[in-house]
Amino acid sequence: MFEVLPYLEPDPILGLSAAYKEDSNAAKIDLGVGVYKDEHGNTPIMTSVAKAQKILLERENTKSYITPQGHQGYIDNMLSLLLGEKSPVLMADRVAGVQAPGGCGALRILAELIARSNEQARVFVSDPTWANHIPLMSSAGLQLETYPYFDKEKAGIRFDAMVDTLKTAGKGDIVLLHGCCHNPTGADLTNEQWDVVLELAQERGFTPFIDVAYLGFGDGLDEDAYGIRLLAENLPEVVIAASCSKNFGLYRERVGLAAIITEDAKTRDIVQGQIQSVARGSYSMPPSYGGALVDIILSDTSLKKEWMSEVNSIRNRMQSLRTMLVDKLEENGAQQDFSFLNTQKGMFSFLCITPEQVREMRDKHSVYFVGSSRINVAGINQQNVDTLARALVSVL
Ligand SMILES: Cc1ncc(COP(=O)(O)O)c(C=O)c1O
């Protein structure tokens, strides 16, 4: 029966990794895949995570199933991290939440739940957005719309155009927002722009859906939660998908959180049951391991402090890589202004060059990144930044 299905090309990012591996140029540079890399190009296990693994090994005495919602300690700790320890919505018992298999798992079950509640719901996603948002939302049967977000010519946010489009969204619609460190552009809303989004949601009645996969990689753990907390505290309903893949370096363990702020505690109970039933109908219950590690870290004052300081170092390092690249480009005589890279946040930015220039970077200089010109900033290091800057200047 399956022969009727069409052949699908592999994901371009996987093709890019394969091509990078095959390239024999010793000076090749990989700015493609979205994982954090240290100065030596490794994606290490964070020290706080390694310590938590030892604790878990000692502590765990069964491999029996965990509960359908996941580790409650993990959920509570993550909600405090995202919403703030004394969040009024937590105090009012207005938050439903389950541990999910990664940010993707969270996005998908939340999309299913939205479709269960309103088959006609439209999901407005930023143009551009993270490529996987499209299948994650549309596979649940949701109708997709876009709102303008990034202007490649000006290397900045098209906020007025975004506002104009969001004015067409209404009750029953969903607006998907990146909590911080927008992927792929690195261009984040300012606090004032978040304030405007709040006013729009209040006026129009749409439900914000915040995807947060890089908390702590932008300006800081609390600073990056500005938009989430603002909307959570001032709207009756907010949907949140969080990932621990990047900021805990737990990629392969698949740790995420699906949460919904509801209008009141009674609705919370309904939503909690419904979201667990969506999970039950797809993967039954989440894997235990990664959530247990995050729970250990966030429950232990000294481990939490250590993790926070590791997140701070990652953030500061990525910021310094941005500065280093901008300086090297200038040193190498770039006519184009790349200073926008310094004000953008997180792991990604668009270089705002053409697909032909991206291709030339790859073919002539063995620098690998996707055609949209999105680079993984963490792929830059002291050793390759000069080569990278020279290659870029030569294709401009
Ligand atoms: C914007 C965004 N959301 C969600 C995710 C989900 O990550 P994961 O499923 O690996 O936790 C990612 C990962 O790249 C992402 O960039």
**Residue 99 sits in the same domain as residue 74:** yes
Q: Are residues 223 and 350 in the same domain?
A: no
Does 184 sit in the ligand 1 pocket, CB within 6 Å?
Answer: no
pLDDT number for residue 14: 80
Q: Are 156 and 187 in contact (CB under 8 A)?
A: yes
Mark whether 247 and 335 lie in a shared domain: no
* 307 included as an active-site residue: no
Is the minimum distance from the CB of 34 to ligand 1 under 6 angstroms?
Answer: yes
The count of structural domains within the chain is 2
Residue 279 is a catalytic residue: no
Instruction: Give the end of a domain, one of 299, 326, 354.
Output: 299
Q: What is the CATH number of the domain that holds 23?
A: 3.90.1150.10
Q: Are residues 194 and 237 in the same domain?
A: yes
C-beta neighbour count of 307 within 10 angstroms: 25
Report d(CA 195, CA 85) in Å as an integer: 22
Residue closest via CA to ligand 1's atom 3 equals 213
Q: What is the number of alpha carbons within 13 Å of residue 317 lying toward its C-beta?
A: 18
Q: Which is the closest atom of ligand 1 to the Cα of 256?
A: 11
The answer to whether residue 201 is domain-embedded is yes
Task: Give the span between the Cα atoms of 269 and 272, in whole angstroms.
Answer: 5
Catalytic residue among 30, 173, 188, 211: 211
183 lines ligand 1 (CB under 6 A): yes
Is any ligand 1 atom within 6 A of the Cβ of residue 213?
yes
DSSP 267-308: HHHHHHHHHHHHHHTTTSS--SHHHHHHHHHHHSHHHHHHHH
Would you say the CB of residue 102 lies under 6 angstroms from ligand 1?
Answer: yes
- CA nearest neighbour of 113 among 127, 128, 98, 126: 98
Q: In this structure, what DSSP letter does residue 13 have?
A: H
In a domain, 1, yes or no: no
**172 neighbors 139 (Cβ within 8 angstroms):** no
Give the per-residue pLDDT at 33: 86
Judge whether 3 lies within some domain: no
* pLDDT < 70 stretches in the chain: none
Q: Which pair of tokens denotes residue 71?
A: 């580790």
Residue 104 CA, closest ligand 1 atom number: 9
Known active-site residue 154:
no
pLDDT for the residue 5: 96
Q: What are the tens digits of pLDDT across the range 108-151?
A: 999 999 999 999 999 999 999 999 999 999 999 999 999 999 99
Which of 28, 111, 115, 130 is catalytic? The answer is 130
Tell me what pLDDT residue 300 has: 98
